[in-house]
Amino acid sequence: MTLLVHTKADLAKARTALAGRVAVVPTMGALHDGHRANLKRAKEIADSVIVTVFVNPLQFRPNEDLDKYPRTLDADVAMCESEGADLVFAPSVAEMYPEGREGLTSVHAGPDGELLEGASRPGFFTGVLTVVSKLFHLTRPDAACFGEKDFQQLAMVRRMVRDLDMGIEIVAVPTDREADGLARSSRNVFLSAAERAAALAIPAAIEAAQASPDPLAAARRTLAAEPGLDVDYVAVRASDFGPAPQRGPARLLIAAKAGTTRLIDNAPIVIGEAR
């Protein structure tokens, strides 16, 4: 049976009872099958699994969707139980930030954290890394599972763990997609039928890019052909999120809005050779 705790004190007590190798799956809740894939991977690599459920206000700017972000804790715990998680930590904002957010010691992501998502959402990765660092210290995992859909986030977490000598294995889990190709996201529920149809230009752009020797141009053409999509960025980076190579394996990253819902996606590509 999965144990649900809400306080750091209860988490510390429950953590001491976990045996063997421990993996953590950090989430903001509203769990879907993409999270389920992370849970399954965590069970494969560890003896005990902790899931954190926390909608982190540090990741949201004033004009973003913090208040309407879906919160479904009962369903989240049910999914965790069905996948054999041992422990769910679902703290309040006051529990995580008892002295408030003003003047809070934070973890800065460095120059790469100011690109792409960081440029569109200033301070976003400081919020991500700060809360992930806190959750790592609280859960004391041997490994942590993150989905590749948030590829820049994955790269930033890996960099933090390496730079701060945290000694945690960061395990990437491939993006889970719905039947029509759209990457699973907690925000997909906000899409109207017309907006969802427009959003399908994103996986179509990825497919076009993967078939082209010039992936960036192919993706841009596909996205530009969909008037219902407001594209934020289309970019190519190295497979480790470094600068894009001139040839060879790389990563295509896309962010766009369908209506008011912001979606991100990415996929591996090869520059300079058709596939």
Q: Among residues 32, 35, 108, 137, which one is catalytic?
A: 35
The secondary structure of residue 145, as a DSSP letter, is E
Tell me the C-alpha distance between 28 and 114, whole Å.
Answer: 22
The secondary structure of residue 190, as a DSSP letter, is G
Task: Find, among 199, 203, 268, the residue nearest to 230 by Cα.
Answer: 199
| Annotation marks residue 32 as catalytic | no
Task: Find, among 127, 132, 4, the residue nearest to 76 by Cα.
Answer: 4
**Amino acid (one-letter) located at 218:** A
Tell me the C-alpha distance between 274 and 34, whole Å.
Answer: 29
Give the rounded distance of the alpha carbon of 252 from its chain centre.
Answer: 16
For 246, the token pair is 């001139």
Active-site residue list:
35
